[in-house]
Structure 1
Amino acid sequence: MPHSMSPMSSPASPEHGFPSDASGAHAGCAVPSAPRCYALADPSRVLIPDLDALGLGVSAGCTRSHALALAPDLVLLNPDPAREQQAFEALALALLAYTPKLSFAESHTLLLEVGSGLRLFGGIRALLAKVAATVADCGHVARIACAPTAWGAWLLAQSHAQRTPRRWHVVQDKTLPRVLDALPVSLAPFAAQHDNALLQIGCATLADLRRLPREGVVRRFGDGVLTWLAQAYGEHPDPRESFRAPPSFQAALELQARVDSAEALLFAARRLVMQLAGWLAAQHAAVSAFELRLEHELASRHADPLGGARTSSLTIGWAAPSRDADHLLWLLRERLNQTELAAPVIGLRLVASEVREYAAPTDTLFPLPEASDASLAQLFERIGARLGPQNVLQLSLVDDHRPEHAMQADAWRAPARRGRAGTRRKAKDAKDDSSAAAAPMQTTLDLPDVPLPSQPRPAWLLERPLKLATRGDRPVYRRPLKTLTRAERVESGWWDGDGVGRDYYVAADDQGRMFWVYRERIGGQWYLQGLFG
């Protein structure tokens, strides 16, 4: 199979008040509230009736006069081509997450060339399920079909929209002619131009059309019919211009009703996030922050909580750039749960503010360290979104010999955004002073046969040094302690008024527990600084 095209015959969007079980596109005009039923119609026929009109017998394809005879209160709405195009471009942006080769076709259909990405998405069935879920998240209902050719998939999608009991998914090239031959010729895009001429000459299916003399078909219908047949059956190339994503991302959505709570905005904002994810995939990029702008309903003159402003904004940022729609939605949900709206919202606009290049991780037999780092970064971002970024801290080393100043707690940042290389510091161990005095003389203390700790500094430091009692010039912490190492002298801090002069030792008691203690050079007082595990 050289390629597989997955077209969507996109029906009306529910957000504009049209039914989701009939094919077509939504209209963009205002709907009065008094009449009880509505239908979208062109100058001659009904395109989409709503559920009330459908219950009265109005169906797609009937004439306007017939529809008004069945439903006298029926309001016929005119299509808005500009808003229809905006809706399909928004849907195309979201579907760019699956393929960069996407094009528009007749009858409100999107064509996706997906043959090169079947292994990436787990096969044709898994891919079709993902595409259907994305279309549903964007507020549409699709009739999906696939075939080795673009026009073949288009025909199967039109057949699916009319709910004819035929096959809609064709994978192999040798199966395509047999499936297309059984389709009615009325599905062809040129059939409406010739009214019933094809049926009058006994041409009911595409197989009948193919059996007609070529000279007669060209003389009566033009040579474009034969070219179209060859493209549909894979006998002639079918080049198409792909949809191109804009260089920057900015998407807007008008809400169908005013929203008073921030949590309720997530359902509508999900459509914008799906468009952002598709745009990022097309640009091979990732985003580390975006801005959600809220358009508020105009407040009264005497009680305006926004001070005359019609818009407000929420800026959501995170450490590691991401293009995962689920991750972006999770962060947005946590932010909205902590937001209180100052006024009702009637519109949304999403702007990608910090876009960066993105290199997709490679699949390897053994996991790479970068994969675990990315998972850890997302975990910390979620904790920060839930508890607040000020409550997610990380310890960093500082160039200071004083243990209580050798580390500090800062707000967590991803490794990729730590700034200059000089920020990664290692604590400098105070060098042994060869001229320092040896450990004070102590009486014999029997100790278990345990090795000295491999690190000269313990991992557990007390928040404040603990003053120790002495017994015979020996420090005592519950039990008498014996020093095991030579003195490590630290003299530092004179520049900030917190100068110290200490001699550090590793000490142990008779049960083998080890401690980090020091003795003041002036005064000779002993203190406990830390404990070894």
Structure 2
Amino acid sequence: MQPGATRAHALALAPGLVLLEADAAREQRAFEALALALLAYTPKVSFAQSHTLLLEVGSGLRLFGGVRALLAKVSATVASCGHAARIACAPTAWGAWTLAQARATRVSSRRWHVLKETTLARALDALPVGLAPFAAQHEQALTQIGCATLGDLRRLPRDGIVRRFGDGVLAWLAQARGEAPDPRVWFAAPPSFHASLELQARVESAEALLFAARRLVMQLAGWLAAQHGALSGFELRLEHELASRHAPRTSSLALAWAAPSRDPEHLLWLLREKLNQTELIAPVIGLALVADQVSEYAAPTDTLFPMPEASEASITQLFERIGARVGEQNVLQLFVEDDHRPEHAMSARTWRASARRAAPRKPREGRKGARAPSGEPPESTPAQSAFDLPEVPLPSQPRPAWLLEKPLKLAMRGDRPVYRRPLKTLTRTERIEAGWWDGEGVERDYYVAADDQGRMFWLYRERIGGQWYLQGLFG
């Protein structure tokens, strides 16, 4: 069956064929959604006759790796949006439009990738004149004068063409061949993003929604490119079929990530993981995507040597993907805190909380925590005077890498603390007094100690009470 066949002919060939009335408003919304997605490749997208979109891509060929790579990306985007496209490339807008019409109407099965105006002129001369946008209006006159191709039309006397067809034919030929300017009205992206999609059938599985949501995400990526922005989160709203009297009509899935991004593949990956963990309350018949957490996009630099920002961005995306898979609360990051107390000197927070880390806590006005300088111990203690300080190598690190989750209370043997064996101190006193501002104050004298087998430990003695505790172990 060929385009342009009658209704009776179509029903004769396919009696079970279902015919639908054309909905011009719905078709226009579909083309605007497709134009929004294609803004990811160029800010210059315009509408043309015969359901055609024109993209000016000359300035972005190097960015996307050449003509073939760019056309492949455009074709993949169009397919992701649920459309089939016939794509042609030419130096002029009307030239590309005509070559695309030749392939769409099967006049030619060739994929037209014309880059030079001289090649375009030869290609246009060989095409049927019926492809021109004015051909339907002057079809009978063109047939009577034996004009079969655009080359035949171009070779006719100019005065005769103007007298018979008007000035528009010559102007169109000049614009198609690149001999005259062709100003266009470019499609303008809306100031805010809100895209919706009516599903063709009810969807009962959350995983199956990803195929339809891909169209909305591709539109979002194009809109962000047009706005020179990036996104740190969006909301996917689900419209449900009323399965019961108490089922809500709508629900929503909120996604957020640490580093702003506009990469559609990354956003789809996060959405896929979110949908895999979601159970629908009722079948879904419609989707809507709302994005309001938009920030300025910092484009990556094409430098000879990789910048630190690039590695940080990749690590952030890795954290986001792991968090989407196992849960954000299970992805922790360690941080050093501004606190002398060993049990508070390090904290583990979720990677998202660490991205917006608050300022470190500051003690209130009053007595400040202090560490006694090495070689200048504070007031001597009875236990310290009873210990020897042998000449043995001390640990290279001032703190052990292994801290006990809870300090271990040590027994005493004579004047020495015991951990399996009696311990002997190797350093002078290091005093830590801190924590009065949060109600967890400590007053401790710390030592590096060792047993008779050379194993080293980090322990402290309470200034009040004199009890010894084991805090950590050296490797």
Normalising by structure 1, what TM-score?
0.81
**Secondary structure at the residue paired with 1:335?**
helix
Q: Match of 2:94?
A: 151
1:104 Cα deviation from its structure 2 partner: 0.7
Question: Aligned pair in 2 of structure 1 residues 505, 183: CA closer, same or farther (>3 Å)?
Answer: same
**Secondary structure at the residue paired with 1:192?**
coil
Equivalent in 198, 219, 244 of residue 275 of structure 1: 219
Is residue 2:139 matched to residue 1:195? Answer: yes
Runs (5+) with no aligned partner, structure 2: none
Q: Match of 1:483?
A: 425
Is residue 2:449 matched to residue 1:507? Answer: yes
Q: Distance in 2 between matches of 1:166 and 1:268?
A: 32
Equivalent in 209, 212, 216 of residue 160 of structure 2: 216
1:414 Cα deviation from its structure 2 partner: 6.7
Residues 55-66 of structure 1 correspond to what in structure 2 (within 5 A)?
58-66=1-9
**Secondary structure at the residue paired with 2:292?**
strand
Question: CA contact under 8 A between 2:369 and 2:432: conserved in structure 1?
Answer: no
Q: Match of 1:18?
A: none
Equivalent in 370, 378, 387 of residue 442 of structure 1: 387
Question: CA contact under 8 A between 2:95 and 2:124: conserved in structure 1?
Answer: yes
Residues 222-261 of structure 1 correspond to what in structure 2 (within 5 A)?
222-261=166-205
Q: Match of 1:527?
A: 469
**Secondary structure at the residue paired with 2:280?**
coil
Q: Match of 1:205?
A: 149
Question: CA contact under 8 A between 1:184 and 1:206: conserved in structure 2?
Answer: yes
Q: Match of 1:40?
A: none
1:257 Cα deviation from its structure 2 partner: 0.6
Return 512-521 or 275-284, whichever deviates more.
512-521
Question: Aligned pair in 2 of structure 1 residues 71, 365: CA closer, same or farther (>3 Å)?
Answer: closer
Matched residue type, 1:202: G
1:75 Cα deviation from its structure 2 partner: 4.7
Question: CA contact under 8 A between 1:436 and 1:489: conserved in structure 2?
Answer: no
Matched residue type, 1:521: R
Matched residue type, 1:361: P
Question: Aligned pair in 2 of structure 1 residues 149, 317: CA closer, same or farther (>3 Å)?
Answer: same
Question: CA contact under 8 A between 2:378 and 2:431: conserved in structure 1?
Answer: no
Equivalent in 268, 275, 284 of residue 345 of structure 1: 284
Question: Aligned pair in 2 of structure 1 residues 172, 491: CA closer, same or farther (>3 Å)?
Answer: same
Q: Distance in 1 between matches of 2:220 and 2:76?
A: 16
1:242 Cα deviation from its structure 2 partner: 0.8
The sequence identity of aligned pairs, in percent, is 76
Q: Match of 1:86?
A: 29
Q: Match of 1:177?
A: 121
Q: Match of 1:361?
A: 300
Is residue 2:231 matched to residue 1:287? Answer: yes
Matched residue type, 1:522: I
Question: Aligned pair in 2 of structure 1 residues 149, 513: CA closer, same or farther (>3 Å)?
Answer: farther
Q: Distance in 2 between matches of 1:81 and 1:220?
A: 33
Q: Distance in 2 between matches of 1:393 and 1:70?
A: 64
Q: Distance in 2 between matches of 1:514 and 1:112?
A: 71
Question: Aligned pair in 2 of structure 1 residues 415, 197: CA closer, same or farther (>3 Å)?
Answer: farther
Q: Deviations over 1:439-486 (max 9, x none)?
A: 444347573xx4542x42233211011233455534444555443332
Question: CA contact under 8 A between 1:253 and 1:349: conserved in structure 2?
Answer: yes
1:113 Cα deviation from its structure 2 partner: 0.8
1:404 Cα deviation from its structure 2 partner: 1.4
1:369 Cα deviation from its structure 2 partner: 1.3
Matched residue type, 1:407: M
Q: Deviations over 1:103-146 (max 9, x none)?
A: 11111111111111111111111111111111111111111110
1:488 Cα deviation from its structure 2 partner: 0.9
Question: CA contact under 8 A between 1:490 and 1:501: conserved in structure 2?
Answer: yes
Residues 61-76 of structure 1 correspond to what in structure 2 (within 5 A)?
61-68=4-11, 70=13, 74-76=17-19
Q: Match of 1:44?
A: none
Question: Aligned pair in 2 of structure 1 residues 467, 240: CA closer, same or farther (>3 Å)?
Answer: same
Question: CA contact under 8 A between 1:515 and 1:530: conserved in structure 2?
Answer: yes
Q: Distance in 1 between matches of 2:350 and 2:18?
A: 59
Return 408-417 or 78-87, whichever deviates more.
408-417
1:386 Cα deviation from its structure 2 partner: 1.5
Q: Distance in 2 between matches of 1:463 and 1:415?
A: 22
Q: Distance in 2 between matches of 1:148 and 1:339?
A: 48
Q: Distance in 1 between matches of 2:153 and 2:438?
A: 94
Q: Deviations over 1:221-271 (max 9, x none)?
A: 111111111111111111111111000000000001111111111111111
Q: Deviations over 1:178-236 (max 9, x none)?
A: 12211111111110111232132121111111111000111111111111111111111
Matched residue type, 1:530: G
Runs (5+) with no aligned partner, structure 1: 1-57
**Secondary structure at the residue paired with 2:225?**
helix
Question: CA contact under 8 A between 1:320 and 1:374: conserved in structure 2?
Answer: yes
Residues 105-144 of structure 1 correspond to what in structure 2 (within 5 A)?
105-144=48-87
Question: CA contact under 8 A between 1:446 and 1:510: conserved in structure 2?
Answer: no
Q: Distance in 2 between matches of 1:172 and 1:280?
A: 32
Q: Deviations over 1:378-425 (max 9, x none)?
A: 111112212222222233444433211333333322765335xx3498
Question: CA contact under 8 A between 1:96 and 1:102: conserved in structure 2?
Answer: yes
Provide the alpha-carbon RMSD of the alignment. 2.5
Matched residue type, 1:255: L
**Secondary structure at the residue paired with 1:372?**
helix
Q: Distance in 1 between matches of 2:370 and 2:400?
A: 13
**Secondary structure at the residue paired with 1:191?**
coil
Matched residue type, 2:347: Q
Residues 460-499 of structure 1 correspond to what in structure 2 (within 5 A)?
460-471=402-413, 473-478=415-420, 480-494=422-436, 498-499=440-441
Matched residue type, 1:82: A
Question: CA contact under 8 A between 1:250 and 1:351: conserved in structure 2?
Answer: yes
Residues 294-333 of structure 1 correspond to what in structure 2 (within 5 A)?
294-301=238-245, 304-306=246-248, 310-333=249-272
**Matched residues, number:** 466
Q: Distance in 2 between matches of 1:260 and 1:101?
A: 39
Question: Aligned pair in 2 of structure 1 residues 405, 83: CA closer, same or farther (>3 Å)?
Answer: same
